[in-house]
Structure 1
């Protein structure tokens, strides 16, 4: 997944099992044709190290009465190390950090996004920032013979086996500057304080289960929160060829929302990913069932097409049923579920810089479909635009 013309030593496959897949975030898989994670590879003694990172500079104008315009920066830096401990045992250590907390607890504007809190109040029409510590994890694989292995993964900050690879690690979302509004249906558990995952990894099938802390990160983004193992999930991933990866997962999360401490959640996701010839795509279905409460479905489809050395076309369409758009109990629309569709498309121009560094310059335009009951709050036909520059190691 490097830009055409980049040196081969800027690519790195971190998985040990081989087969028709590459590693995504946590223990998730993506199609092998998507290519290994982009970054800079370094050999140090018996270790194979990979550095990866990016910084987005973004200006967005989220449309309608509840939309806001704002300039902001998001960032991530990752260091991953692999080595064999013996003929059968392989070790991988991962650290991932972000300076997103500098944005403050309210994050950035993102129309119809909900989830987590700021200053003790629910975030609505805004995307929360990532924590400083996005991942501090380890993984040990024990080779059974051939390309089969058993593995144990986890850490104080890690990602349970629930949902697809997180959006910032999917090729289909690589140039989309804002988080999906379905984030809390598909991949919000990618930062979890306390995870233990055990599984079987074969070249075409992976089966795994996790114990983890169900509560989402709080609004204090600089610390490491107390780990716990009060929730569980299971996931099966099938990679029948280098071009396809399908996963289905289910979990029960204990008290995920700070604003609803007495409510648990059952979460189910199913996604299919495809990659070939510079095209990466994913479609998926997610269901949040509040306990007690209603079941809320969501759909997502996203794709990116890298054309030659410089040009990328990309887009995302989402449909979600959300009952968190009006958190004030005094509001007549409080706790009512509304179906919202967001369609966003854009273009990026990719430029190789020095060594592994590259930059993508581009923009997006988004429109929304919603019920008439939301017109007073959101306007008749809100339209949002975003301009960005993404500086990355292994763009």
Structure 2
């Protein structure tokens, strides 16, 4: 535990010295022996990490393309350690390695390799209709990871991730049709809750157990179980999406979990893993570490046939995850496909959460980020979800009524280098909602726009 607290202190210090010091890193797939990818199509393979002038020029173009969603130290580690098909997203989730190779701030420390990533994201959103609102807010995340070899067949990684989003206030920011978690004892509706100060304090050990096969153990007081796709902040397809998806609590609300243990095996193009974790979502006290527990479970299988494709299916049983549904457990099933190359990153996902007792609520999500040239990025997301939490007041006639609602959001971002790994992306997005006739008086037109500047530490 002292090592976890030390990592937390270092990452917190990064906020003071440089607020953008470390976002969601895409972790390496540790293996003791490098094995460069080979195949008939050179364009489909990750670019080699060399330092000749021509290669540096090409990598700069890739950086400007902004494909890879802050995939720093961990993807460099992936090349060094030999996984030719996948990079880590969040927790132990995988993402396409072909989205691009980026590096954050490297910090040598004896036998340890330290890497810092981060962002500070300033935004203003204005959303219309009777339930719309406007607000200026700041999102932030800092991450410091330490890697070292343990002999010839094992690898250790220590991970810390923190956020200053609790400064945003308990109610978070406006986000039409979003639900989940509470503020001041009331369920949040049409708002996105802030993330906790401690987003991850965890460790991972990988052990070579055969040719192209390794076992791993991941866990800690704060982490992410093997359930669902990589969290939305970590996906290349949502790199510049300024608002959280309304399907967040169907796919990846477990990305901050207090108490996680995951064991798995990675064999060439297949990864199988299982987790024990605390099913309860974080409470509205965002500055503390809640009491860890292992009262829920999940299993996940991931297929990575090439550096461009990752597909996963997962299922979990969560113990009373939502404060507004006391006494109700949840069976959650998800499936997703990710695609990534130098110009395009895309995700298609489906989820069903079965309240026990209660109804089964399903959700769909599709999102993409396209870099046509240079620092230009076009992005879009479309979602459809069955939600019965839009009216939490028990006296409301629509309380606990299930409605299938949709939202689309799309926009543009331009990425500008500043110095070294420091860069800024300037952009904006527009959104529109679609609701049943019964909700028209409550939501009206349901449109909005968001403007943002995202300062990041990543190459």
**TM superposition score category, shorter chain reference:** over 0.9
Native 8 Å contact 1:22 1:36 kept in 2: no
Distance (Å, rounded) in 1 between the aligned partners of 2:111 and 2:371: 35
Instruction: Look up the match of 2:455.
Output: 391
Say yes or no: does 1:111 pair with 2:176.
Answer: yes
**Alignment partners' CA distance in 1, 2:322 and 2:102:** 32
The residue aligned with 2:135 is 70
Q: TM-score, normalised by structure 2?
A: 0.83
Whether the aligned pair in 2 keeps the contact of 1:172 and 1:303 (CA below 8 Å) is yes
SS at match of 1:353: strand
Shift of 1:12: 4.4
Cα deviation code 1:352-372 (max 9, x no counterpart): 011101100000011111101
Corresponding residue for residue 253 of structure 2 = 188
Whose helix proportion is higher, 1 or 2?
A: 2
Mapped partners of 1:23, 1:37: distance in 2:
13
Q: Is residue 382 of structure 1 aligned with residue 446 of structure 2?
A: yes
d(CA) in 2 for partners of 1:313 and 1:89? Answer: 41
CA RMSD of aligned residues (A): 1.6
- Distance 1:305-1:256 versus aligned 2 partners, 3 A rule: same
Q: 1:42: Cα distance to partner?
A: 2.7
- Specify whether residues 256 and 204 from structure 1 end up closer, same or farther in structure 2 by C-alpha distance, changes over 3 A only: same
Displacement of 1:78 after TM fit?
0.4
Higher strand share: 1
CA distance in 2, matches of 1:11, 1:263: 40
Q: Report the counterpart of residue 330 of structure 1 in structure 2.
A: 395
> How far, CA to CA, are the matches of 2:144 and 2:452 in structure 1?
25
Residue pairs, 1:31-50, within 5 angstroms: 31-36=96-101, 38-50=103-115
Paired position in structure 1 for 2:33: none
Distance in 2 (alpha carbons) for counterparts of 1:38 and 1:328: 48
- Is the Cα–Cα contact under 8 Å of residues 3 and 394 in structure 1 kept in the other structure? no
The 3 A distance-change label for structure 1 pair 333 and 6 is closer
Question: Structure 1: how far apart are the matches of 2:284 and 2:217?
Answer: 30
| Contact persistence 2:228–2:314 (CA under 8 A) | yes
**1:246-276 deviations in whole A, cap 9, x for unaligned?**
0000000001011222000000100000012
State the distance in 1 between where 2:62 and 2:347 align: 26
Q: 1:84–1:91: 8 Å Cα contact kept in structure 2? A: yes
Residues 12 and 41 of structure 1 are in contact (CA less than 8 Å); yes or no, is this contact kept in structure 2?
A: no
Residue of structure 1 equivalent to 2:357: 292
TM-score normalised over the length of structure 1 = 0.97
Deviation at 1:46, TM superposition (A): 1.4
Deviations 1:326-375 (A, max 9, x none): 00010011000111110111000110011101100000011111101001
Aligned CA distance change for structure 1 residues 132 and 11 (closer, same or farther; 3 Å): closer
2:366 equivalent to 1:301? yes
- The superposition leaves residues 87-113 of structure 1 with CA deviations (integer Å, 9 ceiling, x where unpaired) of 111001100000000011101110000
Q: Give, in whole Å, the separation in 1 of the partners of 2:96 and 2:154.
A: 24
Query: Which among 418, 423, 430 is matched to residue 353 of structure 1?
Result: 418
Distance, in Å, in 1 between the alignment partners of 2:409 and 2:224 is: 27
Contact 2:72 2:102 in 1 (8 A): no
The answer on 1:236 being equivalent to 2:301 is: yes
Once the two structures are TM-superposed, the CA of residue 49 in structure 1 deviates from its matched residue by 1.5
Q: Partner of 2:435 in structure 1?
A: 370
Offset at residue 308 of structure 1 (A): 2.5
Written as runs of structure 1 = structure 2, the 5 A alignment for 1:148-163 is 148-163=213-228
Work out whether residues 245 and 272 of structure 1, in 8 Å CA contact, stay in contact via their aligned partners in 2: yes
Structure 2 counterpart of 1:247: 312
Q: Which residue number in structure 2 is paired with residue 261 of structure 1?
A: 326
Give the Å deviation of 1:6: 5.3
- Kept after mapping to 2: 8 A contact 1:160/1:196: yes
Indicate if the aligned counterparts of 2:367 and 2:381 stay in contact, CA closer than 8 A. Answer: yes
1:271 partnered with 2:341 = no
Q: Deviations over 1:145-201 (max 9, x none)?
A: 332100000000000000011111100000001110000000010000000000001
State how many pairs are aligned.
393
* Cα distance in 1 between the residues matched to 2:134 and 2:119: 23
Between 252-261 and 283-292, report the one with greater CA deviation: 252-261
SS of the aligned residue for 1:307 comes to coil
